Amino acid sequence: MNIVKTKNVDFPSIFDELFQTDWFGGTANATTAKGNIPAVNIKETENDFVLEVAAPGKAKEDFILSLDHDVLTISTEEKKDETKKEDNYTRREFSFSSFKRSFKLPQSVSKKEINATYTNGILLVALPKREEDKVKPKRTIEIS
């Protein structure tokens, strides 16, 4: 009886490499696999909450921020359509990308004072706290 030794093949790594490769240049990343949803950091300070949305390559005009009751929605939609005609060929390329993120705001946010800025690929949304909800410094109470 002949015993044939076989080498174990790691199929998951082969398939992972196949499906994680972007055949049109570069390597697929988490945002591509999740439908272009950008990463968001949420930071709380004494006076406000700050949302940091990583969305490089966008312009501030690309963003739509809307507030519906206690839900803040950040979205963007981009369409590109390019046609080039040279000699005996025509090339047409088009793309579409969009994302939408929604956040339920706490009652402590002053909804009238929400503001946003976009710089160097980062959208910062400041959600100021209502005055009565800000952390008050410790104080001494006089006894009369």
Residue 123 has a CB neighbour count (10 Å cut-off) of 22
The model carries a pTM of 0.62
- How many domains in the chain? 1
Range of the domain at 45: 36-132
59 within a domain of the structure (yes/no): yes
φ/ψ of 90, rounded to 5, equals -125, 135
18 within a domain of the structure (yes/no): no
Kind of pairing between the strands at 89-104 and 122-128 = unpaired
Chain centre to alpha carbon of residue 105: 17
Tokens 């009652």 map to which residue? 107
CATH code of the domain containing 65: 2.60.40.790
- Show the tokens assigned to 73: 């929605």
57 within a domain of the structure (yes/no): yes
| CA-based torsion, 135, 112, 70, 48: positive or negative | negative
Contact 111, 103 (CB under 8 A): no
Per residue in 105-133, pLDDT (tens digit) is 999 999 999 999 999 999 999 999 988 87
Per residue in 17-44, pLDDT (tens digit) is 433 433 333 333 334 344 568 889 999 8
144 within a domain of the structure (yes/no): no
Q: Which of 9-18, 66-75, 127-136 has the highest mean pLDDT?
A: 66-75
Of 99, 35, 25, give the one whose Cα is nearest residue 63. Answer: 99
